[in-house]
Amino acid sequence: MIVVENLKKTFASGVTAIDALSLEVRGAEICALLGPNGAGKTTTIRVLTTLAGFDDGRVSVAGYNVDTEPARVRQAIGLVTQQTGVDFLLTGRENMTLQGRLHRLPKTRLAERIDRLSEYFQLADHLDQPVMHYSGGLRRRLDIATALIHEPKVLFLDEPTLGLDIHSRKMLWQLIDKLNREQQLTILLTTHYLEEAEHLAHRVAIMTAGKISVIDAPRTLIDSIGGQSLILTLEDGGTTMTTLQHALEGLPFVREQRFVGNELHVYVDNGAESVPKIVRAADELGITLKTLSLARPNLDDVFLKYTGQTLDSDNDQTEQPWWQQWAGKGSGTWQKKWADPAKSDDAHTSSWPPHDAAGENDSPQSWQQHHDRAGDRSSTPGQAPWPDSSRHDRPGKE
Amino acid sequence: MVSDIWWLFNKYVKLSLRTPLWSLFNLIQPLIWLLIFGQLFQSMAHLPGFPAASYFDFFIPGVLVMTVLFGSSWSGVSLLREISAGTIDKMLVAPVSRLAIVVSRLLHAAVQVVIQTSIILVIATLLGSAVNLSLTGVLPAMLIVFLLGLTFSAVSNGLAMLLQREEPLVVLGNLMTMPLLFFSSAMVPESLMPGWIQSLAALNPVNYAVTAIRSALGATPSLTEYAIGLAVTFGFTVAAVAWAFTSFNAQRE
């Protein structure tokens, strides 16, 4: 559905935004670009949505070349930007109507779409209120609904839950997940929230400095750094802790141990099986465990492994403060931020991309048909390994 | 294309209607000028060679042009706001022509100043001005107002894309307005200007617009004066709109 080959982009300032990026997103997949601020996630989205030009490489979305067929790409995609792309003085209905008009939907069809979308995104009660009275979560839902007015095949979400409270965030996750399952909508989202990537995405692409270092199912990525960690604390710390550590070193299933404060972190292949063995080992030494907990490595550990840095450090720093934006070297977030596709000068061969690309065959289907197909994605490779019922109830990290 | 312009224009009109006070605020400054300047310069009409019977009547076309300049030079600020709010992006990912985005904004600004100047005209009449309020006087005058509104909102939008920041845009907008008004016959008839200002006024398109409006609203309209004013203003409009579109289009990340 999305094919990016060797994409390169350097800003006029000489800063490399995207550095030889390749990515393939399959139809009906949720793919997350996970990375810190400044990793090039937003720029990548802007290139894929025809809003920005690029220097080199090939990009196709929904089977159309972004460079040579921008108008067709635009028909096939919906975009939700980081900023709220809805007008505050207009009502929800007016915002959706305008976007539908710009997509040239006939009047009856537009009314039908607004009804469906407002029901789906639970906007019906607020539809005729000006957006300035909306809460953050409601506004974001309207924003997504507006982007879906023309039934696109691919939805781009740039930091969809940035700045939202936990409740709104989880609600959005459910809606995004449902959209994907029921409408077979392909979704590419960017995020710097680990939990979001892990929770929503079938595959996560870890991105730093304009490059994707690794892309895979979140579970696979986490498993790749191995096993689980057991966190032990003892009734009496100090030397007994060292004794225990020496004893555990001899056990075959223990990969690595590390002291963190007064805790001992033991990395093992299989946590559940290791617990009784470790308890027994401690008993044999006459050491009393105070607490023992089992933790899974998370995407932050993966991030650390592949990029050598941790994401947590800048988790909630959403934007530059205003004085930096003003005093900035003219590279504020809204500066020179879109391209004129008509003036693109890259000469790509017209034979690319192949027009039988995934998803091209997907004729637009009604919502009802989509509902009937709900849940049949079990064969999709790389999908989230946990069953749906538990997906939104898994222990959070917040 | 036409329907894109219509729907976007529609949106901007709605936005204005939701903030009616803001549109009225734009009237305050020209009204103050009209009332105070009209009184202050009263005796100017007694000067030999003054072309009108009362200064108040003479000044009204100048106030109309002033309203246009004050009113439309803000248009670029809202473009920058829309860019940072992400609503322009929403338009750009829809299959809408960029020309439609620019033109709808300019049309909106121009229609807004036509309404504002009409209000000024009505108030001036209530205050006892003797301008020609027949359709043959007002319609040609409003045509100039409309074109001038397009022009200055285009200049403001073009500058907005060039400067990318609101503060310098506001400063530059104010900076531009004053000399354009002073170096025209908005406040002082050309015959009473010093020679060097007369030559500057001859190069100032706003001067031609003021002259054309004054001619249309005068008791004895001069077709030649109006035609020259219309031609100059129109040329100015075409150039400004083309420039605004080019600079909007030239933004490439």
B252 pLDDT band (50/70/90 cuts)? low
Is A343 in the B-facing interface, judged by CB distances under 8 Å? yes
- pLDDT exceeds 70 at position A129: yes
Cα Rg, chain B, nearest whole Å: 19
Mean pLDDT of B190-218: 90
* Span A290-306, pLDDT tens digits: 888 887 777 776 776 67
- pLDDT exceeds 80 at position A345: no
Give the pLDDT confidence score for residue A312 in this predicted structure: 52
Please tell me whether residue A291 adopts helix, strand or coil conformation.
strand
Give the pLDDT confidence score for residue A310 in this predicted structure: 59
Is B86 in the A-facing interface, judged by CB distances under 8 Å? yes
Is A338 in the B-facing interface, judged by CB distances under 8 Å? yes
- pLDDT exceeds 70 at position A158: yes
- pLDDT exceeds 60 at position A372: no
Q: DSSP alpha helices (H): ranges in chain A? A: 41-48, 70-76, 92-102, 107-120, 136-147, 166-183, 194-200, 218-224, 239-249, 271-284, 299-307, 322-327, 367-372, 388-391
Which tokens belong to A358?
A: 């995934």
Residues of B in contact with A332 (CB under 8 A): 164-165
- pLDDT exceeds 70 at position A323: no
- pLDDT exceeds 80 at position A35: yes
Percent of chain A with pLDDT over 70: 75
**Which range has highest mean pLDDT (A169-173, A298-302, A307-311, B247-251)?**
A169-173
Which tokens belong to A237?
A: 């710390």
* Contact criterion met (CB < 8 Å) for A74 and B11: no
Which tokens belong to A7?
A: 């994409």
Give the pLDDT confidence score for residue A31 in this predicted structure: 94
CA distance A141 to A168: 9
Give the pLDDT confidence score for residue A376 in this predicted structure: 38
* Span B179-203, pLDDT tens digits: 899 999 888 888 888 889 988 888 9
Residues of A in contact with B90 (CB under 8 A): 79, 81, 85-86, 99, 146-147
- pLDDT exceeds 60 at position A374: no
Cα Rg, chain A, nearest whole Å: 24
Mean pLDDT of A273-290: 86
Mean pLDDT of B41-57: 83
Q: Residue A170: which residues within 8 A CB-CB, separation 6 or more? A: A392
- pLDDT exceeds 80 at position A370: no
Mean pLDDT of A158-185: 91
Q: Residue B168: which residues within 8 A CB-CB, separation 6 or more? A: none
- pLDDT exceeds 50 at position A394: no
Distance from CA of A2 to the nearest CA of B (A): 17
Residues of B in contact with A98 (CB under 8 A): 7-8, 10-11
Give the pLDDT confidence score for residue A304 in this predicted structure: 67
Q: Residues A2-222+303-382: name the CATH superfamily.
A: P-loop containing nucleotide triphosphate hydrolases (3.40.50.300)
* Contact criterion met (CB < 8 Å) for B7 and A335: no
The residue among A265 and B119 whose pLDDT is bigger is B119
* Contact criterion met (CB < 8 Å) for A53 and B91: no
Instruction: Decide: residue B107, CB within 10 A, 0-12 exposed, 13-18 middle, 19+ buried.
Output: buried
Please tell me whether residue A293 adopts helix, strand or coil conformation.
strand
Is B20 in the A-facing interface, judged by CB distances under 8 Å? no
Number of separate domains in chain B = 1
Looking at every residue in chain B, the average pLDDT score rounds to: 89
Residues of A in contact with B21 (CB under 8 A): none
Mean pLDDT of B160-184: 89
- Which 8-state DSSP code applies to residue A342? G
Whether A204 contacts A196, CB under 8 Å: no
Give the pLDDT confidence score for residue B193 in this predicted structure: 87
Write the class of the CATH domain A228-294.
Answer: alpha beta
Is A46 in the B-facing interface, judged by CB distances under 8 Å? yes
Most A-contacting residue of B89, B104, B166, B245 (CB-CB within 10 A), to test interface: B89
Mean pLDDT of B131-159: 91
**Which range has highest mean pLDDT (A16-25, A250-259, B243-252)?**
A16-25
User: Where are the domains positioned within chain A?
Assistant: 2-222+303-382, 228-294
* Contact criterion met (CB < 8 Å) for A337 and B4: no
Give the one of A53, A84, A338 whose C-beta lies nearest to B85's C-beta: A84
Which tokens belong to A381?
A: 């490779």
* Contact criterion met (CB < 8 Å) for A79 and B89: yes
Residues of B in contact with A11 (CB under 8 A): 253
**Which residue range forms the structural domain that includes residue B183?**
2-249
Give the pLDDT confidence score for residue A260 in this predicted structure: 65
Residue carrying the six token digits 């439309």: B72
Is B246 in the A-facing interface, judged by CB distances under 8 Å? no
Helix (H) or strand (E) holding B100: helix B98-126
Distance from CA of B127 to the nearest CA of A (A): 36
Is A50 in the B-facing interface, judged by CB distances under 8 Å? yes
- pLDDT exceeds 90 at position A241: no
